[in-house]
Each structure stands twice: as structure tokens, then as C-alpha cells.
Structure 1
Amino acid sequence: MPEASWGADPLDFQGGFRGLAYDSQTCYPSSLAPNGRVSWSTHQLESSSSSGDVAEATLIVGFPNVDWPFLQSVYGWAAMQYQAWARGRLTIAANSARSIAFYADNVLEIWVDDDHHFGGDYYAYRRAPLVLHLNPGSHNIDIRMIRDVRVMGGNEAPETLIKLKAEGSKGSLALVQQKVLIPDIVDGVLASPFAFVPVRNEGRNVIDILDVTTDKGPIRAAMMGIVPFKLSPGQTRPLSFRLSTQSNPPISFSLQVSYVESDSPDSLRSAVFSTAFSTHDSHSPHKITFLHPGGIVSYAILRAPSKKAVTGLSPNKRLPILLNLHGAGLEASSHQVRHMLDSVPDLPSWVVFPTGVTPWSGDDWRKSNESSSEDVGVLTLVRYLGIRGRWIETVRWDGPSADASGWLVTGHSNGQGTWYALTHRPEKIIGAAPVSGYSSIEGYVPYQWWVEADPRVAMLLQNSRRSFRHELLIPNLKGIPIMQQHGSADKNVPAFHSRRMNQLISRMSRGFPHQYVELKGKGHWFDGVMTTRPLLEFYDILGREADWAKLPQYFTIMIANPAAMGARGGLVVDQLINPDQFGKIEVERCPTSMTLTTWVLRTSNILRFHFVPTKRLDILPHKLVMDKSLLLELPPGEEVFGCWLVRSDQGLWHVSHDREWLTEQRHGARLGPLDSILRSAGRFLIRTSVPVSDVALQISRNLFQYFSADSEIIDLSAAVGSQSGNVISVALGSGSPVLRSRSDPVGLDNGRGLYVRRRGGIKTVFPFEVGMGAIFLRPLLNERLELVVWGFDQQGLRQAARLVPMLTGVGQPEFVVVSQRCAWEGAAGVLAMGSFDNFWNVSEASFVS
């Protein structure tokens, strides 16, 4: 699976699949097949249909001649992950060119004749199809299939299922009605005002959307964000708007989107679609929408406390929040998710089913789409329910409000993101129940690379994923009540994962509440999996505040990436000395009197930290003993929240009020590997030029397809301005102005090649060559980031663009320089790869060939 983003296609060494003609007698080397050889074969479609402007086909590909049990005995489930190519044809039976919306479920890479499309629709979201403009006649469709155990299962005879759909288009603005997101009506009012509908430009001209209106007076719509809303040819974006009502809202209504096209800017056009609200009462699960930190509209399913649960409670009482993280492939709005806890209707809590932005990889599961100021989408949602939260005001709720600092986190299967919450947000959590989940994605399917790479390269790739290695971050959850549950007969996620986590926790949490229950004979999913007797007993913690998580006298904070880690005991780490390594703080809390506390801290690889307010301010220290030698007096009262504890180059700690480091050094949302670009505090700007606009379009489509993220495509020469979101710059050639800065650690060297400047000013220059490209991060103002995607030629650009974050569980360091060899060797073919230190210098652990 990690190789999927790189390509790592052995056939590229033979010139690539698209350059091969069908020949049943020709064989190619493969380490998977008998005799080490593979060849062409023919497969009949499982099903196909064609009616009017729509053609659909289903293909199931298997390889019964491969000895899968033998391979699995060597590699485990990693052996079930393979790639294969298939070729078919799409015929346009028309007299002129047609615009086609082309859907490809479970496909990552496609060639349509000579046009390459990377990203596809790996998880079958059907949000952002390819927009093709095809002439009459037959067209080759080459599809690269990637079989992933997490998506398709660890079957004994692994097959790959592909679904294709070609749908004729009118070649103008398309409103994706089936993907519209609107809130529910609750007790006769809109639960929230935010909404969006995906819009797609299926024509050849730029479209400017000017307005959104409704057909019924009681409800009005107003566009959000910058007007006009630009839509490049082939692009799909989420069009956000705000709904408002002056009286009881109608159940159904129509929306009209007004727009103009660049070829006729004076001709106002419109597109219309109809939709309808669902109605609920406040105590039943219902959909609320909210503004996500990434500048999009997201949603969750909310169930307010029942009347029985709040009987006798003061309106000033604050109840905790039960966050239930859904499994892979499910929407939070599905019947299965929203009614998962129906058999416990009277929990003394607010029950929230977050969407995670997408059914497979979400903002609070593994891919973090957060801003430094607002934090992850779930935290934004929690604030929406706060003491004076908008929902409470909207529905005129007069009962107890929500305690944003108290979460009981549960999750089934892919909801093992519960482990991520435990290890990264321990300050928020009062208890947690991971159910039928794996320990980490690398533990689920071992990351066995078929292509051998330099150990330094493998180390850098592992390092870029370390925030998701929950096994290594277990010390962070000490003192938090945990209840694990797993079915002994689970063939989807073996019970070994929960057993292993239980063993690791037991070593650390002696004397703290922790329980593991294995249900004999139970599989991965069954009705009532989240309401078994052990879990019902655990949910009782919601009504027993005395049993909530406590800060231990002795605890440890493990830091993989400070940007992803919240507070523990009010302590927040800002920077590591070496970003390539874990940081650690061991803490002993020593009360010196009834009101004063001294903390003894032993640090490893920690450069800077500070304190933030906690629910109980009395736990914060008044003095620190640093690394067994230095005693530091902390500023009194709230003054402690305005300073930092900093380690000097000589290893001595001191209290600092200096804020200049915030503008000079790397911190906050700028920290972390390549996927830190996803922490955008608004829509992305994708800068491009005409020769590479198709690559920019693919990046935009993938951002929306896999993260629901919004992006605007602009000219490479346009000023970025003061917009709040991150920037992606797509550039081509040896003279690109994007890489002309001589101060960047990666850049162009006077037309000779691409340089990487290491610490001390040592410069390594890689002469330009066919297939060379680079992708790297660099800072912008206000904690924003720019992701530069560059290629010496089209081949190098496309290879670099593959590494723009997209799939769950695939991590890349902060800069990568690719060569032509990456097409068949994957990461083993890189010229350079590594990370940056706190001053944006290339770190010493980086690989430079």
C-alpha cells in the first residue's frame, strides 16, 4: 500500500503498460507468480450495461494460479496487497466530440489514450469524477488496480473489484444533487445554518458562480466566501452557503445557482436542483452542520441528553460528550451509525457521531486537517455545543449544556482513531473504549516493501508516519480509564491487535483502570457491538465524575510531532531539538504544601514548552526542577501562560517571554511531514501555468475526493495575498520562477540542476535529467505553508505530484527529490529525501545521494 503513491510499477522498467501490446506469449518477471513470471490474460466483465448516455461495467480480477497461502505464510497480510493492470475500450458512438463524466471506483491510476490521470477514486466516493472530452470512436482505457487489505479484506484468494461508469454531460455547470449537505430540522427549526453542494465544471471554459437563491420565501440562501466562486474546467468544488428562515422552514425547496462562463461573461445562466430536510426532535439523532477549520462545511450526528437523563439537573450543569467514531466506509448519517446507541437512550451525556469528513480517512482519525488556531474539526464541533453554543441557542435548549473538556471516546473498527485521540488529546478524555480496532495501520498490514531501499530512506518514511504509531505513544494515556473489546473470531481485524495494546498498557498503567474483554466466537461486527454488557457498564462512567481520568503523580509525555499533540496536565510542547526523533518528558508532581506544587521534569529531545489553562488550575506547578539539576520559579498566576520554558544550546533551561522566535522559527501548523499541508485554515490556492494545469486539476480533484477540501486554481504569477489557507505551487522547467529563491534549502542552481543545501551551507547539486522532480514544504506568513511541486519535465512533475498527500497511512517527509527510477523503484529511486529543522534547514538525518 505505501508504494501505491509512488508508482513503483515494475512494468515501467519495460517502458510501461500503456506501451505494451497484448501478446499471450510474452512474460514479465514478478516475485509473486509461479516461476517468477506473469503474462497477459483476458477477463470477461462481471456485468455491463449501456443505455442512452450512460455506460457501466463491473470487472472482478483474480489470479487463481498464484499460491496465495504460501505468500501469506511469508509476508502475512502484506502478501494480499498487489497491483495489476487491465485494458479495455470505451466507444463514443456519436457524430461529434462528447463531454463525459468518468467514474472509476476502487481505481487509483488511469490512462485514457495518452492522457494520464492519477488519484482516481480509490474508496469509491464518487465525488469528483474525471471530466473527459472524447472524439467519436474507440478509446483505450488502461487501469492500474491496487489491492489494499484494509479496503478489500484479507481473503484467502484475493480479488480486485472495479466499477466503471461513463456518463454523458451537457458540458456546463453540474450540481451534484445526491451529495448535497444540509442540516436537519429539529423541533421545527434548522439545527444549524450551514450547507454545501458539490459543483462541477464539465465544460471547457472557466465558470464564475455569482449567487445562490431559493424558490421559497420562508427560507433563504446566501453564498459564503469569496464571490465570484471560480470553477476551472474539469474541477469539482464544494459550494458553501448559509440558510436562514423567518418562520417554520418548508420541508422541501429548490436552489438556483447563477453563473457566467468566460466565453460569454455577459450571459447569465442558472442551474436548479431540489432537496428536502429531514425532521427530528432534539433528543433523537439528527444532523448538524458546522464550519470546519479547513474552510469547508462539515457535519455530525448529534443526540442531546434525554428528558430522563436531565431530570433534576440544573441548567447550569455541564454534561460530558460521548464521541463515537464510525468504522471505515460508513457515513455518520447512515442508519447503522446514527442508531448505534439507541439501546442506551438515557446516557447522561451529549452523544456525537462525527463524520470524519470522509468515510475512510477523516480529520480526527488519521489524516489531520486542522488549523493551529481552531484545532481539528471535532474540537470545532465540540465548541459548537459549548455553554452558549449555537445549537443550544437555536433550538432554545434549556437543559444542561456540554462540557467541551470532557470526552468519552468510543469507536468501532476504523474508529480505532480512539487510540489517536487517547495518545494525542489526553487532556480532553475522561475515558475511552476502542472496539475491534487495530493497534496502528502499520501493525494491521505490515509495511513490507517489495522494492528494497537504502535503510536511511526506509527510516525517513517510517519517521514521517510516527504520529500514527499508537504502540509507541502509549505513555500518554496513563491515568485514563480504558475499556477494550474485541471478538475472538474477528477475521477482519484479528484480536491480536487489542491483546497487544492491552499488554502494552498493562505494563504502564498498573494501578489505573483498564479492562480488556474478548467476546468468544464473535466476529468483527454484530448487532449491538457497541452496547454489550461490558460496554454498558463502562458507559456508567458518564454519571460518575469521580471515576473520570485523573492526572497521575508520575506521568510521561511522548511527542511525535508537536503540531499534532495537545496538552497533558496543562503542559504543551512547542518544539523538539531534533524533529526527526521522538521527544519525551517524564514528570513527577511533588506537592510542597497545601497550595504549592513542584514538578520534577526529565526531558529528552525537548527544546521548548509552555503551560495552558486547565480545568483544574490547582494542578499546575509553581516550581520546576529541570533535568535533576536546575530549579526554576514560574511566573505567578496567569502570567505563567504568557511565557515559554526554553533549553539553550548549552543544555540549560530558562523562562522566556521573547516572542520573536514565533516569526523566525518553525512551529505550530508548520511542523511535521508532507501531510502537514493539510492543516489549512481555509481553502487551498493551487498556483499553476497552462503547461501543467492538468496536474493542478488532478491535485484539486484529489483534495476534494479524499478530504472534502476546497481549492481554487489560479495563475502561477498571481499574488497569494492575505488569504488564510495553504498554497500549492505547481511548476515546470529549469527556469521556473517558483524555485529561484537562493535562500530556500531546495532550489535551482543557475540552470545547472537542482540543489539541496544541508546544514553548514554544504550544497549538493543534482544535474537536470529526464524524469527529475521535487516536492517540498516552505513557510508562508501567519503559520501558513506552501507545497512546491516541481518537475524538470512532465514525467518528473507527474512523479512528484503523486506524493501530494492523498491516501491514509502513506507518509512522506518534508522534501523529496525524485528521479526517473522512482517509476519502477518507488522510494528506492529518490535522489534526496528528508526533513527540516526548526530554522528550515535540511536536518542531519536526511538522505542526499
Structure 2
Amino acid sequence: MEVTALQLASLRSGMYLGPFRSEQEVIQSQASWGADPLEAVGGFRALAYDKEINYPSSLAPSGRVFWSIHQLESSSTSGDVAEATLIVGFPNIDWPSLQSVYGWAALQYQAWARGHLTIAANYAQSVLFYADNVIEFWIDDDHYFGGDYYAYRRAPLVLHLSPGSHNVDIRLIRDVRVMGGIGQPKISIKLKAESSNGSLVLVGHRALIPSIVNGVLASPFAFVPVRNQGRTAIDILDITTNAKIPPVSFSLEVTYVGSESPDRLLSTVISTAFSTHNSHSPHKITFLHPGGIVSYAILRAPSKKAISSLSPRKRLPILLNLHGAGLEADSDQVRHMLDSVPDLPSWVLFPTGVTPWSGDDWHTWGFADVEAAIAAIIGWIETVGWDGPSVDANGWLVTGHSNGGQGTWYALTHRPDKVIGAAPVSGYSSIEGYVSYQMWAEADPGATMSLQNSMGSFRHELLIPNFKGIPIMQQHGSADKNVPAFHSRRMNQLISQMNGDSAHQYVELKGKSHWFDGVMTTVPLIEFYDILRHEADWAKLPQAFTIMIANPADMGARGGLSVDQLINPDRLGRIEVERYPTSATWVLRTSNILRFHFIAPEKLDTLPHKLVIDQSSLELPPGKERFACWLVWSEQTFWHVSDNRQWLAEERHGTQLGPLDSILRSVGHFLIRTSTPASDVALQIARNLFQYFAADSEIDDLNAAVGSQSGNVISVTLGTDSSMLGSHSDPVGLEDGGGLYIRRRGGIKKVFPFELGMGAIFLRPLLDKRLELVIWGFDKHGLRQAARLMPMLTGVGQPEFVVVRKRCAWKGAAGVLAMGSFDNLWKVSEASFVS
């Protein structure tokens, strides 16, 4: 049998062109929207190397860049595996001068590199292609978007290549969060090509399994990741093991059949091992994420010393520790960071957020994982037979380092009724605050506003009033070069100005850097953790407080008050509350609030019997009926009490609210519907969901019923058949006369005639509070351009509907035909941008 030889970039050098300014500041925005200046001249793939030709760039001396040849940092070829490391830095650019004006935003740029992948065989080969820290590339004439920007190596691309040489064009994009803001701003990527002969392999040759605690499995869920490396579909029939009781090590056998030989049973085996612990040491528990996948967290039960004098009927709070970017919760750095405080009277939980980058920075997908991990503690108590104090699942002392510090701000602003105290450590204030969005492409202000609105729920600086009265300890090293102390200083200032909180403390550690051993157990933090012993020091609801709402779907209750709907989705909502406990009356002043209700909070002794809302006086129903009604605003009646539930069937609410990332609130796995012409794009979407979220999805025909499963639906379609995008009464759809329309308020249509490169992506409702995300293209280019906006990375700015055209490839969001929000009746909001 002939051995396949693979070669990357001739194993010696590569051709480069750049750098170019990132038309939007952060990598997530720039890469997802496109904004590649070379697309204006046909794209890098259409350009041939010529050292005499130059191209305009706002970063380079004289405003022009040329082709260049760079040596690879390292490369190797061994039989059927080839690897290469590329490091590009562009030393001719005056980076210090640019940074002195634009800060870290100036250090984020893009370029292109070209090499070759050679198949030295007499027949076509299946090849696994790994692309660490790459998000977009072309292989010959085929475009791939998603890559593996965080180097997870969970889902390499499976290529089927003919013998000979194949062009590999790599888009190089530099992001400060991933690649750092100190020193020469270089881009480093790793490429690996490996021949593949099997049709099914186990990813990473390991399973996700729980620990054994006190002789029993800590939880009942396990996850075995597999990858189809063949060219036809396979069906997995069974997963079996010979183990009757939990052994130290065991084997799992996966049995499957391929569509080419459905009568032939195949199998593959994975060997794995349990770790054993006692209940008081950090150990792994597994549970189901709402998206239908198995996730894990590290749990430490209260120590014997901590509970020695407590009643078994006592419920202890949770010390919730959110890890930083790029870290596994199961790593020694994370799971042991609180070992020096072993006797805290609390449960200690280290969530993973599904991935080392916490899914999406502890936001929609990642924070759902946090709450699922908290809920799993109850199951653990029953499984292992714990007879000590139970858990208070609604009492969180939240801590986190770096990105976990940012996640702590998210918990504070979005779940304030559950947080008894918080300690953000070396954390940045928000995604947008970490590296300023000042270098967005020049765009119509209306378009820019739509982008900003879509990220409002993650602007913690705007939501600070939500956590007034909650004890906070901020800690930051003064010499932190990774997340400058400015972030904590800024939040400290804003908290003082907005909340005037005496419960807030700020400690800056002189000369300390971003990370050091013991960063989470310094003297100030240990003293702060001591509030776990003193329930009287826990968060108290102030007599006067304010609730700020960007997206009701993201926001939990404050003081038992939960907002259901805003009047205008393009503006923040606000409720200012003054409590008069002696008369059980609350006075509320609202802005942009349409509907809210009360829930029964555990930590609030007194709820109102009477409300004065914007000078309207209302009596609330007695007893439990108070929690079965809504306070509703209308132009005719102003504020009134309503127990009418009809609106739940007719109006947008709950998990359906918000921009495109609301599709990630799926309860159950994703169903991706597609047709044959768009199947390659659907496959990339499924791959990206697994790569970046470890999410499970099923690909089916475009005609598959959307009501037969519990999860959200993604429909990928191509062409001009108007029935593909729904009825003619929908807010976005296709005209029989040859265009795509946006239906404005009052029923007025704006029709955009079909053109090459046109595409659209938008949400629409399904039954049971589910969502469908429609991705449509007039042609393949338009479909790919729209599909780029499928939620994958944070900080992108993806409004609820976007209509793209060919120029978006080089102008990014500045080139759209339309984008914006839907209101509570699924009509296009007034502030939406329609060109």
C-alpha cells in the first residue's frame, strides 16, 4: 500500500500580503462580518504573487502594502502527517505610534498567507486539516469559515483531496484577547494535515465521565465524542461496556453502520479511567446542559469541620468560581485555586461554561451551563447519599478571575436576586470595554446603532444599578499588563457614582500582575469570603433601587420584580423603585417598560400589596394570585393589573427575545434543515456549533417538520422560491416579483431587487417559545455571507435580522442593505436600519 505524503507550504516558506486594518475592532466582529479589503479586488484567492504590485492599507508606510516571502517558524513531514507553524509580525509598521493614538485596537489587524498542500499519491485521499488560531481559509476554490480560533482541536476539517498540489489561503487575524497586547503584535498559527483512513473515530480518544465519590459515580451522565471521517453518513447503534460496577478503568465499545454497507456492523473501542475522590475534595460531576449535551463542573462539598456544628436541615450557599479564558475547569490551576480555604461553610463549584472559553464568555450559552451546574448539586446529594447540610441553589457568592471576573459582573447585573456577594478579580468591565470598538468601519449611524443595541445586554457598565446593595470586593494587580487595572478602577468609580454603596470595596495590589499563585486567596479575599459565615452580611435589598433592562430574556428578577417585555426593543428599559415597608407600598417610575410581574423571592421578607406606578395607583391581588398576574402598560389604560394569558400565545416573550444569539437558548439539540445546494453551508454550521459550543445538532431535509423536536431550528436555504422564507405577511420575505422585502410598520414594504451576493439571516417564532433562525442566499456567495453571522464568537453585534449584499465582503456591517430588531409582535422596530 502506498503511503500518503503530505506537505504544507512547501515546508520552507509562504507568501504573505498585509497588514490591513480590521474594519471592525475585535476579531469576533471583523471576522464574522467579513470586512476584508481584498474582496474589493476579487479576494486574495484571485491574486497571483507579484512583488511589484501593491495594495492600499491604512496601516502601512505610504499607505501601500506589498507581497512578501516569509520563512515558516517550523515545519515537519513524516509519512502521512505534515505540520507547520507560521509567525507573522510586520516589523515595518510603526505599531507604537498607532497604539499611542488608538490603544490596543491598533494592534488588531488582518493579512493573508498562501501555501500549498500536496497529496503525493495516485488516488484521492481523506485528510484531516487542523488550523489552530485560524477562523477562515480557502482550499483551492472551496471556502471554509469557522476554523479553530481557540485551538480546541475538537472538529478538524475533513477534506477529500485529489493527488497533486492544492492552494491553501489562510486569513490571518490578530485579536488582543487571544494573542496578547504586549510586545510586537505578531500572529501565530499552527497547521496540521493528517491522512485519514477510518470512517468513525473517537475525538481525542477520551470520554467525559464523572468522578467516583465515596465508592459511587458522582452523576449518571457521560459523553463520548465521535467524528465521521468518511464521505457517507453513519448511524451509531449502541454504546456498551463490560463494567458492572464502577472500576478504576474500563472500555467503551461504539457499534455503528455506514450507509454504504448498512448490513455490516462496525465498532470502535475507547479505554478510559475514573478518578476517585472523597466528597470534600474537588471532583468532576456531569449534567445535562439545556442544549441537550453533557457538560461538567468541579464540585467541592463543605468540609467536615465546616459543617460539624450545623444542622442537616441547614442550606448552605454556593461559592461560584468562574475560570478565565482558555482554561479547563478540570485543570489543576482552576480546581485547586481555593484549596487554601478548605473549610468555608459553603459548596464550592467551578463551572466550565462548556468550553475553556466558557462557550460565549459566560453569557447566553455559557451562563446556562452555570445554572445547570448549580441545579446538578441537588442530584449529587441524592446520588452519593450526602447526609450533611443541603444547598441553597439561590444563594451565590460569585468570584472569577480575568474573563471569569467579567462573568462575575454578568452574574451581578443579570441575576442580582441570587447573588449574596461577589468578587471580580482582575476582570475586564465588558467585551466592548476590553478593547475599544473605536475602529468600526465607517457606517451609517443607524446601522451602527443596530449593532450597539444587539450587544446592550453585555455592557455591564450600563447595568450597574442592578446590583446596588450587594457586597462586592474588587481586586486587581496594579502591574497587570493583560487586563489593565483601569477596568476595575472604572467599575469602582461607576459603582460609587451610580450606587453610592458602602458594601463595595476595591483593593489594588501594588506591583502584582494578572496572575500569580494565590490570586484568589489573598488576605482581602479570604476576609471577604468570611461573609459566608455571617448571613447578616449577605446582600440586602435597598429601600430604593433601580432595575436596568437591555434584554428581558437575559435578566433575572430584582426584588422579586421580573420584566417580561420592553415597549421598544432598541432602548434600555428602567424601573426606579422606592419601598415603603411600613405601608407595604412601592412607588415605581418606569421608562420603556411594557409588562412585568412579581415572583416570590426567598430573601425578601416583604412584597408590596400596593403599587404607585408613574402616578397610577394599583392594588395587587392577595396571596399567590399576586404571582399569577402581570402589570401592563397601554396608551389607553396606562398601567393596569391583568391575569389574561392570551398574550403568551400571540406576542414575543421569554427565550424568543433578543438578537441572533438568542438561538443559543435552545432546549434540546439543534435541528438544521437544508436542501442539497446549501448542504455544505449547513454542514459548516453544524461543525462550528460543535467546535465552539460543543453543541449537538441534527441535519435534515428542508421540508422536515419543525414541531417534532424540542430544540431550536436553523433553516439554510438557497434560491428565489418565495415559499422558502414563509408567508407574504412575514416581516422579512421574498417577493414573487424578484426581490427580498422588509415590511416596515404600517405594512409598508421596502423591496430590494435580487442581486449577486445578496443574503439574509433573521429570527422567527416557533411554538413553545422556540426559535427558528433562517439563513438565506440568492446565490452561494450571499448564503455564505449571511451564514457568517450565525452566532459563534462573542462581541460580534448580530441584530435580529440582517440583509447582506456583495459589498459586505469588504465593507462588513457598513455594507448591509438592512438590519435591526423585531418588536413584541414580530414587526420590524422603528429604529431598525433600512437603506
Q: TM-score, normalized by length of structure 2?
A: 0.95
Offset of 1:95 from its aligned partner? 2.0
The alignment partner of 1:196 has SS state of coil
- Say which is worse superposed, 762-771 or 806-815, in terms of deviation: 806-815
Of 96, 108, 124, which aligns to 2:123?
96
Of 778, 785, 793, which aligns to 1:792?
778
Matching residue of 1:229: none
Of 506, 529, 542, which aligns to 2:519?
529
**What 5-or-longer segments of structure 2 have no aligned partner?**
1-25
Please give the per-residue CA displacement for 1:356-410, whole angstroms capped at 9, x wherever unaligned. Answer: 111114367134367xxxxx2222221222xxx2211111111111111110000
In structure 1, what is the Cα distance between the partners aligned to 2:621 and 2:206? 53
Offset of 1:487 from its aligned partner? 0.4
Matching residue of 2:393: 404
Tell me whether 1:291 sits opposite 2:288 in the alignment: yes
The alignment partner of 1:35 has SS state of helix
Offset of 1:750 from its aligned partner? 0.5
In structure 2, what is the Cα distance between the partners aligned to 1:192 and 1:511? 41
In structure 2, what is the Cα distance between the partners aligned to 1:833 and 1:162? 34
Matching residue of 1:714: 700
Tell me whether 1:174 sits opposite 2:163 in the alignment: no
Where does 1:677-692 land on structure 2 (aligned, <5 Å)? 677-692=663-678
Tell me whether 1:657 sits opposite 2:643 in the alignment: yes
The alignment partner of 1:687 has SS state of strand
Please give the per-residue CA displacement for 1:781-814, whole angstroms capped at 9, x wherever unaligned. Answer: 0000000000000000000000001111112110
**What 5-or-longer segments of structure 1 have no aligned partner?**
219-246, 371-375
Matching residue of 1:205: 232
In structure 1, what is the Cα distance between the partners aligned to 2:290 and 2:472? 29
- Residue 475 of structure 1 contacts residue 508 of structure 1 at CA under 8 Å; is this kept in 2? yes
Offset of 1:53 from its aligned partner? 1.9
Of 609, 615, 632, which aligns to 2:602?
615
Please give the per-residue CA displacement for 1:588-641, whole angstroms capped at 9, x wherever unaligned. Answer: 010235xxx1100000000000011111453211110111x2111101011111
Where does 1:477-488 land on structure 2 (aligned, <5 Å)? 477-488=467-478
Of 107, 130, 134, which aligns to 2:157?
130
Q: How many residue pairs align between the two structures?
A: 807
Where does 1:104-253 land on structure 2 (aligned, <5 Å)? 104-178=131-205, 180-216=207-243, 218=244, 247=245, 249-253=246-250
The alignment partner of 1:505 has SS state of helix
Give the AA of the match of 1:379.
E
Please give the per-residue CA displacement for 1:228-272, whole angstroms capped at 9, x wherever unaligned. Answer: xxxxxxxxxxxxxxxxxxx4x111111111111112212121111
Of 63, 72, 82, which aligns to 2:109?
82
In structure 1, what is the Cα distance between the partners aligned to 2:834 and 2:130? 40
Of 549, 563, 571, which aligns to 1:559?
549
Matching residue of 1:391: 380
- Residue 361 of structure 1 contacts residue 808 of structure 1 at CA under 8 Å; is this kept in 2? no
Please give the per-residue CA displacement for 1:674-718, whole angstroms capped at 9, x wherever unaligned. Answer: 111111001000001111111001100111111111100001122
Offset of 1:720 from its aligned partner? 2.0
Aligned-residue Cα RMSD (Å) equals: 1.2
Distance 1:736 1:155, change over 3 A: farther
- Say which is worse superposed, 489-498 or 718-727, in terms of deviation: 718-727
Tell me whether 1:510 sits opposite 2:507 in the alignment: no
Where does 1:628-707 land on structure 2 (aligned, <5 Å)? 629-650=615-636, 652-707=638-693
In structure 1, what is the Cα distance between the partners aligned to 2:77 and 2:109? 31
Matching residue of 2:613: 626
Tell me whether 1:605 sits opposite 2:632 in the alignment: no
- Residue 210 of structure 2 contacts residue 284 of structure 2 at CA under 8 Å; is this kept in 1? yes
The alignment partner of 1:362 has SS state of helix
Matching residue of 2:831: 845
Matching residue of 1:349: 346
Offset of 1:210 from its aligned partner? 1.1
Distance 1:646 1:663, change over 3 A: same
Offset of 1:480 from its aligned partner? 0.1
Give the AA of the match of 2:210.
P
- Residue 177 of structure 1 contacts residue 197 of structure 1 at CA under 8 Å; is this kept in 2? no
Offset of 1:740 from its aligned partner? 4.2
Distance 1:345 1:674, change over 3 A: same
Of 307, 332, 339, which aligns to 2:329?
332
Matching residue of 1:776: 762
Please give the per-residue CA displacement for 1:290-311, whole angstroms capped at 9, x wherever unaligned. Answer: 0111111010000111111111
Offset of 1:651 from its aligned partner? 5.9
- Residue 468 of structure 2 contacts residue 501 of structure 2 at CA under 8 Å; is this kept in 1? no
Distance 1:100 1:751, change over 3 A: farther
Of 573, 591, 596, which aligns to 2:581?
591
The alignment partner of 2:574 has SS state of strand
Give the AA of the match of 1:383.
A
Matching residue of 1:442: 432
- Residue 295 of structure 1 contacts residue 683 of structure 1 at CA under 8 Å; is this kept in 2? yes
Give the AA of the match of 1:333.
D
Matching residue of 1:10: 37
In structure 1, what is the Cα distance between the partners aligned to 2:725 and 2:206? 39
Of 809, 816, 828, which aligns to 1:823?
809
In structure 2, what is the Cα distance between the partners aligned to 1:344 and 1:611? 38
Distance 1:511 1:155, change over 3 A: closer
- Residue 127 of structure 1 contacts residue 179 of structure 1 at CA under 8 Å; is this kept in 2? no
Distance 1:794 1:512, change over 3 A: same
In structure 2, what is the Cα distance between the partners aligned to 1:178 and 1:506? 51
- Residue 82 of structure 2 contacts residue 194 of structure 2 at CA under 8 Å; is this kept in 1? yes
Matching residue of 1:763: 749
- Say which is worse superposed, 504-513 or 774-783, in terms of deviation: 504-513
Give the AA of the match of 1:754.
L
Offset of 1:92 from its aligned partner? 1.2
Please give the per-residue CA displacement for 1:87-119, whole angstroms capped at 9, x wherever unaligned. Answer: 011111222111111110000101011111000
- Say which is worse superposed, 187-196 or 814-823, in terms of deviation: 187-196
In structure 1, what is the Cα distance between the partners aligned to 2:476 and 2:603? 35
Offset of 1:179 from its aligned partner? 5.0
Distance 1:579 1:450, change over 3 A: closer
- Residue 177 of structure 1 contacts residue 273 of structure 1 at CA under 8 Å; is this kept in 2? no
Please give the per-residue CA displacement for 1:801-846, whole angstroms capped at 9, x wherever unaligned. Answer: 0000111111211000001000000011100111000000000001
Give the AA of the match of 2:269.
V
Tell me whether 1:458 sits opposite 2:448 in the alignment: yes
In structure 2, what is the Cα distance between the partners aligned to 1:509 and 1:651? 33
Of 263, 266, 278, which aligns to 1:266?
263
Distance 1:707 1:475, change over 3 A: same
Tell me whether 1:380 sits opposite 2:372 in the alignment: yes
In structure 2, what is the Cα distance between the partners aligned to 1:328 and 1:179? 23
The alignment partner of 2:50 has SS state of coil
In structure 2, what is the Cα distance between the partners aligned to 1:201 and 1:368? 25
Tell me whether 1:476 sits opposite 2:466 in the alignment: yes
Distance 1:82 1:538, change over 3 A: same
In structure 1, what is the Cα distance between the partners aligned to 2:532 and 2:295? 27
Matching residue of 1:541: 531
In structure 2, what is the Cα distance between the partners aligned to 1:667 and 1:381? 25
Of 573, 582, 586, which aligns to 2:572?
582
The alignment partner of 1:564 has SS state of coil
The alignment partner of 1:796 has SS state of helix
Tell me whether 1:305 sits opposite 2:302 in the alignment: yes
The alignment partner of 2:69 has SS state of coil
- Say which is worse superposed, 503-512 or 250-259, in terms of deviation: 503-512
- Residue 129 of structure 2 contacts residue 193 of structure 2 at CA under 8 Å; is this kept in 1? yes
Distance 1:651 1:578, change over 3 A: farther
Matching residue of 1:240: none
In structure 2, what is the Cα distance between the partners aligned to 1:369 and 1:155? 28
Please give the per-residue CA displacement for 1:471-495, whole angstroms capped at 9, x wherever unaligned. Answer: 0000001000000000000000110
Matching residue of 2:793: 807
The alignment partner of 2:72 has SS state of coil
- Say which is worse superposed, 483-492 or 167-176, in terms of deviation: 167-176
The alignment partner of 1:619 has SS state of coil
